[in-house]
Structure 1
Amino acid sequence: MTTIDEQLDVLMSGAAYGDPQTKENMRAELRERLIEAEKEGRPLRVYAGYDPRKPDLHLGHTITMRKLRQFQDFGHEVIFLVGTFTSLIGDPSDKGEARDQLTMDEVEENAQTYAAQAFKILDPEKTTIRRNHEWLSGLTFADVIHMASNFTVQQFLTRENFSKRFDVGAPIYLHEFFYALMQAYDAVALETDVQVGGQDQLFNILVAGRKLQSAMGQKPQVAIIMGESLPGTDGSEKMSKSAGNHIPLMGEPWDMFGKVMSIPDDAMPIYHKLILGWQAEQLAELEKGLSDGSLHPNEAKMRLAREITMIFHGEDGAEAAQQRWDEVFRSKGDGIPDDIPESQLTEEKKVLDILRDLNMVSSGKEFKQLVQNGGIRVNSEKIDDAQMTLTPGDLPAVVQVGKRKFVRLV
């Protein structure tokens, strides 16, 4: 049987709080909770929340999911919380401006596949799926005022994203303060022992959640704040769909494989660490091989892409993805696969609208960035006009987005 100290070493690994003392405090509190739960013969209640502002989760989300899985492996109760109510506002924690507000219909549509995506990491038999509109939608205005009375405006203005906007006179909307209150109430409603989150959740979990639980007569939860974030395909910025550098979990296997292949070489170690769970000795060996030339970066990245794709799409998906990669990038032809999808074009239409209708780009902003970077080709020729149109007289035509997405218009 695993000892409490052994559990602690695993469960606190990768956690960071900005100062060593807070980490020691959280470790001591987690030890106390584990001892208490063992005496009472119950598991800890652990959760993390995921806001369905977009329909797909990405590799960056799996960092906290893997921590939840560690709790599951030790026999603790895990709650995967879908933020169906908090998504209506959107977390401002890592944003320099207010997010657009969604409707409940938009949120519900996005949330449909979240459970299936979560089960790529979590054990379905040991996971409870909850949605926070279950309790947040029933709060009265008096309830909100009571919760808000536990916090000061100054507390919120110490948050970096708010303080920067305050200093330059940029708008800070009152409803943005409510997000932390709602997330804090999630912990109260679920009566949690532990909440897991990323660095952008430090205030929401460590301050707001614990404080509201105390104010409402509960023992404040232990905060497990993951210290590292997964960089996106650019290798520098945190992975984010809004930044266009994400790798979606539910995309096509070849798309996941290709996007992993596109990351910079120096980002490979952190992908091995955070996604594959490599330990220090394995990472040191990888970095040594890359440094002394005994391991070719492309060989290492190919293996990484295959292993990550296999996690989410199985061995067959990974095999097919690698074959497609080889076909496109190792062939001596024009680099266009034979088995690309076809779509009919019956009238003159902007290339942007064609690709957006086919879900090959998510927005006009993404399309314009791709055009500026030479990432859109028609019949192998880069286009430089974001307003370009195609007509039935231009067909057949092959449109390529980035290095891996193709459609044949007929």
Structure 2
Amino acid sequence: MIGDPSGKNTTRPPLSKEEVLANAKTYEEQIFKILIPEKTKIAFNSQWLQKLTPIDMIKLAATYTVARMLERDDFHKRYQENKPIAIHEFLYPLLQGYDSVALKTDIELGGSDQKFNLLMGRELQKHFGQKPQIVLMMPLLEGLDGVQKMSKSLGNYIGINDSPQEMFGKLMSISDELMWRYFELLSFRSLTEINKWHEEIKNNEVNPRDIKVKLALEIVERFHNKAAALQAHEEFNARFQRGVIPDNIDTITININADEIPLSNLLKQVNLVPSTSEAIRLINQGGVKIDGQKVEDQGLRIKKNSEHIYQVGKRRFAKVKVGF
């Protein structure tokens, strides 16, 4: 269960078979928001990789050199900085490349960070007498911060399984400059239409917010439906223009052993923030409210047998029952 080392400056911890299968299930649920299940075949590479004998693995490893492996940016950087590179990390691109051999693929899609691995597939296909696949690479999408690539671990992502309201709110939060990048990579609108909007904004003929609404509506409709997108837009306007707390907030019940729980811990436990340190930072910046009232005490503790609506930032809400 080897993790992809692409773009990593440290060795990734291996996952158990159970963790891999659990992750695969979530990927399947997400991909079928885009692909048609009846026209899609899912295969686990364990079907062919488990059949490789030690001799097969040695032969596969012999098709590539350490020098070629170290040409890869992340490996080269770690080698130059005397950071450890485990042998199994060298095996990852070889095994991914062998997937192309086993499947006899014609085309492989991947992000631009996967270039080394994708080209490995072509190399191995030639070695095994197959016609090399076509490689189709996509640019990496910047996250909500507009700086780093979109990543769940960085907290700058829009989840495919996000609710329509959450997805709409996140899209409306991006900068005006980043909006054009999202149009370029995510929208099905024509470049002619997008360029027209760009000129209209440049000439102060239209508000950038109105164009951003078009992007948010399009993306939410794609992953949900048109009615959900329009409803999310309506709730967004109510929430941010009139300061209304939405009436369809999910209720979360948490049980605690003590009589109180620190607010920062509660916010993390109900996934309103990625960490307690982030919760404390937001409280200090005035970005946390309880029942519409701004919280000013970062050490605030929430009592057992309480129920409140918690708000983090402009778009994250949760109704939480404690100790029920």
* TM-score, structure 1 as length reference: 0.71
Contact 1:340 1:408 in 2 (8 A): yes
| Structure 2: unaligned runs, 5 residues or longer | none
Q: CA deviation at 1:382?
A: 4.2
**One-letter amino acid of the counterpart of residue 337, structure 1:** P
- Which secondary structure does the structure 1 equivalent of 2:108 belong to? strand
Q: Out of 155-164 and 215-224, give the one that drifted further.
A: 215-224
Distance of 2:12 and 2:288 partners within structure 1: 29
Question: RMSD of the TM alignment (CA)?
Answer: 2.4
| Structure 1: unaligned runs, 5 residues or longer | 1-87
Contact 1:192 1:221 in 2 (8 A): yes
Distance of 1:214 and 1:198 partners within structure 2: 22
Which of the residues 298, 305, 308 maps onto 1:397?
308
- 1:215 and 2:124 aligned: no
Distance of 1:271 and 1:221 partners within structure 2: 29
Using the aligned pairs only, state the percent identity: 40
Change (3 A) 1:365 1:99: farther
Distance of 1:382 and 1:374 partners within structure 2: 7
Q: Deviation per CA, 1:14-48, whole angstroms, max 9, x where unpaired?
A: xxxxxxxxxxxxxxxxxxxxxxxxxxxxxxxxxxx
Change (3 A) 1:169 1:123: same
Which of the residues 101, 113, 120 maps onto 2:14?
101
Distance of 1:141 and 1:371 partners within structure 2: 55
Contact 2:93 2:117 in 1 (8 A): yes
Contact 1:348 1:389 in 2 (8 A): yes
**One-letter amino acid of the counterpart of residue 63, structure 2:** N
Q: CA deviation at 1:99?
A: 2.2
Identify the residue that residue 35 of structure 2 maps to in structure 1. 122
Identify the residue that residue 205 of structure 1 maps to in structure 2. 118
Identify the residue that residue 306 of structure 1 maps to in structure 2. 217
Q: CA deviation at 1:278?
A: 3.1
- 1:189 and 2:102 aligned: yes
Distance of 1:367 and 1:222 partners within structure 2: 46
Contact 2:8 2:74 in 1 (8 A): yes
* Greater relative CO (CA pairs within 8 A, separation 6+): 1
Q: CA deviation at 1:381?
A: 2.0
Distance of 2:111 and 2:296 partners within structure 1: 39
Q: Deviation per CA, 1:72-107, whole angstroms, max 9, x where unpaired?
A: xxxxxxxxxxxxxxxx32221122222232222112
Identify the residue that residue 340 of structure 1 maps to in structure 2. 249
Q: CA deviation at 1:202?
A: 0.7
Residues paired across the two proteins, number: 317
Q: CA deviation at 1:384?
A: 6.6
* TM-score, structure 2 as length reference: 0.88
Change (3 A) 1:301 1:342: same
- Which secondary structure does the structure 2 equivalent of 1:128 belong to? coil
Distance of 1:282 and 1:168 partners within structure 2: 47
Q: Deviation per CA, 1:121-156, whole angstroms, max 9, x where unpaired?
A: 223333222222222233233222211111111111
Distance of 1:409 and 1:118 partners within structure 2: 31
